[in-house]
Amino acid sequence: MSKRTIQDKLISNALSLWYKFTDPVSLKYARFQHESSYENVEERPLISIIIATYDRGQLLIDRTLPSILSQTYQNFEILIIGDCCVDETAQILNQIKSSKVKFINLPKRTKYPDDPTLRWFISGVGPLNHGLKIAKGKWICSFDDDDIMAPDYLENLLNFAQSEKHEYVAGLYEEEREGVRSVRGMKTDELPEFGGHSTWLYRSYLRCFKYNVNSWRKSYNCPQDIDRQLRMISAGVNVASLNKVVSYIRPRPGLTTIGLSARIQNENKKK
């Protein structure tokens, strides 16, 4: 991984101060505008599922989309946002005959660092922020384009959030690395963030917390999802963890691991 430059330190420190003062204000204003509309715990609202993707159309229709379209809770929209895909993603996704699925391919790709690790830290930031802007749901779910939803993902997280009046909830996920599967995601004293990116559900007014395209410049907690979680927690968002597996993270075809390790493994295969 590249060494942090003076520019990286200046930008990350400036953003840290900016978020420290603006995030609590944004949250307070968002609550003032929208919090009262969440009092009906029996409501079955629209959920927006936002998926950022880049040239993974086949994996989406083979793995991720079937698990979403077969959910026990069916009032949702799926917003698949392409990070300026250059392959046949659009044509592949046309095979999905569902009015719930919408694909938007951004005309310009997010500007990423050259280093593979730093690039992984902010993968999909541009599409995710675009998805937040156009989402129509009262609740929002962020999901990765190579993961699998448990059949009752939406139902369990929504019921949990509504019954306990939480703003932002996350569950557990089962991951697979080198053939070994384990359950991850519980909040601990050492790990203040909770859940994984593909275990979230939150009230749509929390879209005021945009993904930080410069999170890779930080010296710690660089991934965009962890950065966003910590900002929410610091600002005072009401968060909670559901002690139930809601998603499954499996290696992509041709790989044996996931996450950053998969990015490194894939880069090594290209050499």
pLDDT by 10s per residue, the chain, length 271: 678 999 999 999 999 999 999 999 999 999 999 999 999 999 999 999 999 999 999 999 999 999 999 999 999 999 999 999 999 999 999 999 899 999 999 999 999 999 999 999 999 999 999 999 999 999 999 999 999 999 999 999 999 999 999 999 999 999 999 999 999 886 655 444 578 899 999 999 999 999 999 999 999 899 999 999 999 999 999 999 999 999 999 999 999 999 888 888 877 777 6
Rounded Cα distance, 25 and 234, in Å: 12
Rounded Cα distance, 118 and 101, in Å: 30
Per-residue pLDDT at 188: 55
Per-residue pLDDT at 262: 86
> pTM here?
0.95
The secondary structure of residue 214, as a DSSP letter, is T
Q: Which CATH superfamily is domain 6-270 in?
A: Spore Coat Polysaccharide Biosynthesis Protein SpsA; Chain A (3.90.550.10)
Q: Are the CB atoms for 103 and 206 separated by under 8 Å? A: no
Per-residue pLDDT at 187: 61
Q: Are the CB atoms for 239 and 194 separated by under 8 Å? A: yes
| Cα maximum dimension of the chain | 55
The secondary structure of residue 72, as a DSSP letter, is S
Residue with tokens 């077969």: 70
Per-residue pLDDT at 1: 65
Per-residue pLDDT at 161: 97
